[in-house]
Amino acid sequence: MLAAVDISPREAEVLKLVGAHLSNAEIGARLCISVRTVESHVSSLLRKLDVPDRRALAQRAPEPAAGAAPSHPAPVLPSLLTSFIGRASERAELAEMLRTHRQVTAAGPGGVGKTRLALAVAAEAAGDYPDGVWFVDLVPVTDPGMAATAVAGALGLGEQPGRDMTESVVAALADRHALLVLDNCEQVADGVALFLERLLAACPRVTVLATSRARLMVPFERVYAVPPLSLPADGGSDAVTLFMERAAAVGRPVDPALRDQIAAICERLDGMALAIELAAARYSTLGLDGITAALSHPLRMLTGGSRADQRHRSVRAALDWSHALLEPADQALLRRVSVFAAPFTAAAAAEVTGDDEGLVIDGLARLAEQSLLVVSASPAGTEYRALETIRQYGTERLTEAGELADLRSRHLRWCLRRAAALAVVGEDWRPRFDQVADDLRAALAWAADQPERRGEAYELARSLAELTFTRNLIGESQRRHEQAAALAENPGSAALSLRHAAVVAGCRMRGDDLFRLRRAAADAARTAGDPAGAATDLAIAATATFRFATTFVQLPAPAEVLALIDEARTLAGTDPAAQAAVATAGAGWTLDAAVTGGQQPSAAARTPNPEPNTPAPQNPPASPPKAPNAPIPPTNSADPARPADPTEPAESAQPAGSAEPVPFAQFAQPAQPAPEEADGSVPETIVRAERAVELTHRTRDPLAESTALDVLTGALSWAGDTYAAAATTQRRITLLTSAPETPAATHELIEALGEAAEASLGTGDLPAARRWARRLAEHPLLAEVGHRATNWLLVTDALAGNVDEVLANSVRFLDAWQRAGSPAQSYLGRAVAAVAMVHGLRDDHDAQREWQGVLERLGPLPAHTYGYGPIFDAILLLHRGRPAEALERMAPEPAQVWKWVTWIWHHWYVALRTEAAVLAGSPAARDYVTETRKIVAGNPVAGAIVDRAAALLDGDQQSLLATAAAFETAGCRYQSARTLVLAGTDHAEQGAAILTNLGLAPMAPPR
C-alpha cells in the first residue's frame, strides 16, 4: 500500500503523472520543476516502492476513483483573472474547426479577444487530447528563429546536442495526441510558419490553434476570423454584458436600466473587447456620461484600409481616449516603459526612463489602476507588464514624441549592464537571466539594425552568446556568436567570435558547423593579418574530422582535409601555438591512416563506431587482420536474422566437428594489427602524437594539450597499450579540471570524462570509472540528453553489480532516448546491453526482452557481437551455470576480433573466457590461466577473475576466498558475492544472501 511508504507530496504528484504515462519533460512542465528534479523524484520512487522500472512504477500509481472519467493530463493553460463572457457561437465554430483541421488560426485585429477565445476553446477541448494541451506565449519573442525555443520551453524541453530546438520538439511530440496553442504569432510569423510545417508533417496527431493578426500561410492552415463581441443591434449582448461585469469589478455596479446607454458606448467601440474593458475601467470615476463625452472628442484615427482596419480604429480610439485622460507625466511614463519586452520592476523603469524611482512607482500604480499595466508578484518583487497592444501603442507614441531612439538607447545600455551583472553566476542566476532574457534579445534586435550602435550590438551579442551557453541554450549561443561575428567592427574580433561559435557547435555535436566556422575564422584571421591564428583554425578544423567524425552529416573529402593541414603548416611559420596545432592535426592524420588502412578521413563515419568522442581503436581497419577461422556472428538457429538470446548457445567460430576452441597460441597474440596491415603507422603515430603533446605543453594551453593527448590516447589504445592509454586520459582530466570554465573547456571535458571512464573500465579501476561516469552523468550540458549522459555510468554500475543504480539510471536513459526520438546511435549499445544483462541476472525476462528490443532498434552492432556483447552475455551465462555456452559465446579468439576486444574489453574478454574454460572443464584451461595472467597483470578485477579460475582449477579454497576480498576492494560487489557462492559451504549461503540483497536471482551451479 502507498500509505505505508514515506512518499512526499511532490513525489505523490510525480507518481500520479507517471501513472498517466507522461514523460519526465511533460511532468516537469506540469509541475513547474526541472527535468532533472523529476528524474530525482522518479529515482526516489523506484527505491521507496522497490520496483525495477518505470513501467512497474506506473502500475503503483493511485487508481482513479470508481466511476471517474478516464484520466487526461490537465491542460497547461494560463489562468484567466477575469471571467469569460459569452461568445457561445464563436466557441462552437472554432471548436468544430479544431476537430476537423490540423491547424487553425484565430485571426483578427489587436484587442478583438483572440487570446481569450482560444484559451476558452482549448480548455473545453482538453478531454479530446490524451497527451495534453499546451500554451505558448509568443509575445516576448522578437526573433523568428526563436519560435521553436519558446515552444520547447513551454513543453519543458531543453536543447539536445545534435538537434535543433525544432527537432527536439518534433521528437517529443512525434507520437503524441496533443493540442498546442500558439498565441500572438504575428511578430514572428515567418518563424512560426517554418516551425509548423516541420511539426505538422512529422507529428500526425498534433493539432495547433494559433492566434495572429494575419494568417500564417502554412499548408494545413484553416483561418477563423474572430469577430467583435455581439451587440444588441446584431441580436446579441455580449459586449454589454462584458462592460457591466467589468464596471462592477472596479467597484461600481451599473444600473440595468442603463443598458441602452451602455449599448451605445459599445457600438461606438464596435464591440472590440479591449476597448470595452478600457472604457469600463473608467466607469467608477467618469460614469456613463463622462465616458460618452470623452468618446465624442475628436480622436486621431487611421485612414483607409479594410474592414479589419476599421475595427482596429476602434481599439486605437479607445487607447487614444484612455491616453488623453492621463496626466502628461503618466503619458510619458506609459510610452517610455513600452521599450520593455518582458515584465519589469519600478527600479528598472526608473533606470531606463531616467526619472526618480519614487515618482516612477507612483506613476506605475496609476497606470495599473487604469488597466494600462498588469501587476504581478515575483521573487524579484512587484513587476509590471503592458499588454502587447498597449505596448505597441506606447511605441508609436514614443516615435511621435521623437523619443524612440533615445529610449531604445537607454534600454540597450540597461541591457548591457544587466548582461554584465549576470556574468557573475550566483545561486539565483538562472531566474535572473530568465527575467531579462527577452529584453536582451529585443535590445539586440533593435541595435543590430542601427549602424551607429554596431559596437554596442556586438558587445550585447557576445554577452548573450556567453549567457545562453551557461543557461544551456547552446543553439542560441552558437547563433549569437555568429551574430557577433557579423557585427564585429574588425576581422580580428570576428575571428574570435567565429572560434567561439565553432566550439559551441562542437558541444552541439554539429561537426559540419564546427568545420565551417573554423574555416570562416581562418579567413577572418587572414584578413586581420594573423596567419598564425589562421593556421591554428585550419589545423583544428582538420583535427575535428578525425576526433568527431560521427557528428558530421557529410565528412569533407580526404584531399580537402589534407590540403587544410598543408595550408596550416605553411601559415604557421614559427608561431609555437600554430606549430603545435599543426603537429596535432598531422598526428591525427597518421593515426587515421592506421585505423582505416590508409583511407582517410576516419572510418568512424562509415562504421559502427561508438559515440564520436570514443578513441580510434574501436574503428575497424579497411582490411581485417589475417587469422584462421574467421568469427561467425552468433545467430538464432530458428531465425538467423534475429540476434541470439544470450541465454541460448551461440554459433561457434570453430571448424565443423571440433570439440575445442582454436589453439591457444592465437589467443595469446597481442590485440593489435599485424605490421604489414597497419603499414607500420601505429608506432609512427605514437611518436608524432608524443611530439604534438610536447609542443602543446610548451604553449601552456591546456585545451590544445588535451587535444594532443586525445590523439595520443587513440594511438596507444590502437597499439594495445591499455595502461599507457589510461594514464594519458588521467593527464587530460587533470589538465581540464584546472582550466577556466569556457565552452571550449566544457567540450573537451565532456569528451575526456567519457574517455576516462572507458579507460578506467579497461584497466579494472571500477571506482575511478564510476567517478568519471558520475561526473559525466551530472554535467548540466547533458541534462536533456540523459541517454548520452548515463551511458558509461550504466555500464560501470552493471559490471560492479550496483543493481539499484542501474535500474534508476536506466529510467532516465530510456526516457531521454525516447524523448530524443529513439535515435539509432550505435554507441548506446553498450549501455542497453548492460541493462539487459542486469535484468537477466534478476530473472526479469519481460524487462530483459524490452531492453533487447531497444538493442535491436539500434541496428547491427559488430561491437556488440564481438566486443562488449560477449562480456555481458558470458557474465549472465556463467551466473546461470552454463559455462560451456559462455565459452561458445566467446569462441572467437581475441586475435581474430582484436579490433573489437582491444582497449576497454580486452582484459574482460580474456579473463571471463578463462573462467568459462575452467568451469566447462576444457583440457586447455590451465594454459588459459597461465597465458591470461600475463595479459591482465595489473588489472584488479580481471586479475581476480583469473585468480578465481586458477583456485577453482586447483581446488584451493583459501585462494578462492582471497579473490572475494579482492573483488570487494576493487568495488565489484557482484563478483565478490559470486566467489562466495562458488566457494560452497557456509560461504555459499553468505554469497546467496548478498545476491538477494543486490536484487539478483540465485546463481545456478555450473553444469
Please give the biggest Cα pair distance in the chain: 110
* Separation of CA 551 from chain center: 15
Tell me which residue has cell 590544445. Answer: 704
Looking at residue 305, its pLDDT comes to 33
Greatest mean pLDDT among 31-35, 388-392, 610-614 lies in: 388-392
953 three-state secondary structure? helix
Collect all residues with Cβ–Cβ distance below 8 Å to 857 and sequence separation of at least 6: 822, 824
**pLDDT by residue (tens digit) across 399-436?**
999 999 999 999 999 999 999 999 876 667 888 898 89
Collect all residues with Cβ–Cβ distance below 8 Å to 912 and sequence separation of at least 6: 870, 871, 874, 875, 878, 886, 890, 945
Q: Is pLDDT at 27 greater than 60 in this prediction?
A: yes
> What is the number of other CB atoms lying within 10 angstroms of the CB of residue 949?
27
DSSP code string of 218-261: -TTEEEEEPPPPP-GGGT--HHHHHHHHHHHHTT-PPPGGGHHH
pLDDT level of residue 299 (50, 70, 90 thresholds): very low
Q: Is pLDDT at 666 greater than 60 in this prediction?
A: no
306 three-state secondary structure? coil
Q: Where is average pLDDT lowest: 17-26, 38-47, 336-345?
A: 17-26
Mean pLDDT (whole number) for 344-358: 93
119 three-state secondary structure? helix
Mean pLDDT (whole number) for 556-566: 92
Q: Is pLDDT at 9 greater than 60 in this prediction?
A: yes
pLDDT level of residue 220 (50, 70, 90 thresholds): confident
pTM for the model: 0.77
Q: Which of 238, 240, 245, 195 is nearest to 220 (CA)?
A: 195
Please check whether residue 244 is in contact with residue 257, taking contact to mean a CB–CB distance below 8 angstroms.
no
| Higher pLDDT, residue 176 or 967 | 967
Looking at residue 273, its pLDDT comes to 86
Q: Is pLDDT at 685 greater than 90 in this prediction?
A: no
Q: Where is average pLDDT lowest: 588-592, 670-674, 826-830, 851-855?
A: 670-674
Q: Is pLDDT at 308 greater than 60 in this prediction?
A: no
Please check whether residue 263 is in contact with residue 270, taking contact to mean a CB–CB distance below 8 angstroms.
no
pLDDT level of residue 756 (50, 70, 90 thresholds): very high
pLDDT level of residue 307 (50, 70, 90 thresholds): very low
> What is the number of other CB atoms lying within 10 angstroms of the CB of residue 79?
5
Q: Is pLDDT at 15 greater than 50 in this prediction?
A: yes
Q: CA of 257: how far to CAs of 44, 248, 253, 254, 262, in Å?
A: 63, 15, 12, 8, 10
**pLDDT by residue (tens digit) across 164-216?**
889 889 988 888 899 999 998 988 999 999 999 999 999 999 999 999 988 89
Q: Is pLDDT at 625 greater than 70 in this prediction?
A: no
DSSP code string of 480-494: HHHHHHHH-SSHHHH
Whether the bond between 601 and the residue before it is cis, its omega within 30 degrees of 0, is yes
Q: Is pLDDT at 659 greater than 60 in this prediction?
A: no
Looking at residue 829, its pLDDT comes to 92
Looking at residue 401, its pLDDT comes to 94
Q: Where is average pLDDT lowest: 10-14, 556-560, 563-567?
A: 10-14
Q: Where are the beta strands (DSSP E) in 476-578?
A: none
pLDDT level of residue 600 (50, 70, 90 thresholds): very low
pLDDT > 70 fraction of the chain, expressed in percent and rounded: 84
Q: Is pLDDT at 353 greater than 50 in this prediction?
A: yes
**pLDDT by residue (tens digit) across 430-466?**
888 988 999 999 999 999 999 999 999 999 999 999 9
Q: Where is average pLDDT lowest: 278-287, 470-479, 973-982?
A: 278-287
Please check whether residue 761 is in contact with residue 777, taking contact to mean a CB–CB distance below 8 angstroms.
no
Mean pLDDT (whole number) for 120-129: 91
Q: Where is average pLDDT lowest: 45-54, 301-310, 496-505, 598-607?
A: 301-310
Please check whether residue 884 is in contact with residue 920, taking contact to mean a CB–CB distance below 8 angstroms.
yes
Residues in the chain: 1007
Looking at residue 48, its pLDDT comes to 81
* Separation of CA 251 from chain center: 50
Looking at residue 50, its pLDDT comes to 79
Looking at residue 5, its pLDDT comes to 67
473 three-state secondary structure? coil
The kind and range of the H/E element at 967 are: helix 957-969
According to the 3-state scheme, what is the secondary structure of 132-191? Answer: CEEEEECCCCCCHHHHHHHHHHHHCCCCCCCCCHHHHHHHHHCCCCEEEEEECCHHHHHH
Q: Is pLDDT at 680 greater than 70 in this prediction?
A: no
Strands 103-107 and 206-212 turn out to be: parallel
Mean pLDDT of the chain: 83
Strand partners, 107: 212, 225
Mean pLDDT (whole number) for 135-162: 84
Please check whether residue 255 is in contact with residue 281, taking contact to mean a CB–CB distance below 8 angstroms.
no
Please check whether residue 675 is in contact with residue 683, taking contact to mean a CB–CB distance below 8 angstroms.
no
Q: Is pLDDT at 52 greater than 50 in this prediction?
A: yes
User: In the numeric block, which cell numbers belong to residue 314?
Assistant: 476602434
User: In the numeric block, which cell numbers belong to residue 34?
Assistant: 526541472
Q: Where is average pLDDT lowest: 128-142, 288-302, 471-485, 631-645?
A: 631-645
pLDDT level of residue 670 (50, 70, 90 thresholds): very low
Please check whether residue 823 is in contact with residue 817, taking contact to mean a CB–CB distance below 8 angstroms.
yes
Mean pLDDT (whole number) for 269-274: 83
Looking at residue 727, its pLDDT comes to 93
Q: Is pLDDT at 663 greater than 70 in this prediction?
A: no
Backbone angles phi, psi at 720, to 5 degrees: 85, 10
Give the residue ranges of DSSP H helices in 674-790.
675-678, 681-699, 702-718, 722-737, 743-763, 766-777, 786-789
**pLDDT by residue (tens digit) across 686-722?**
999 999 999 999 999 999 999 999 999 988 888 878 8
Q: Is pLDDT at 866 greater than 90 in this prediction?
A: no
Burial label, 100 (beta-carbon count in 10 A; 0-12, 13-18, 19+): exposed
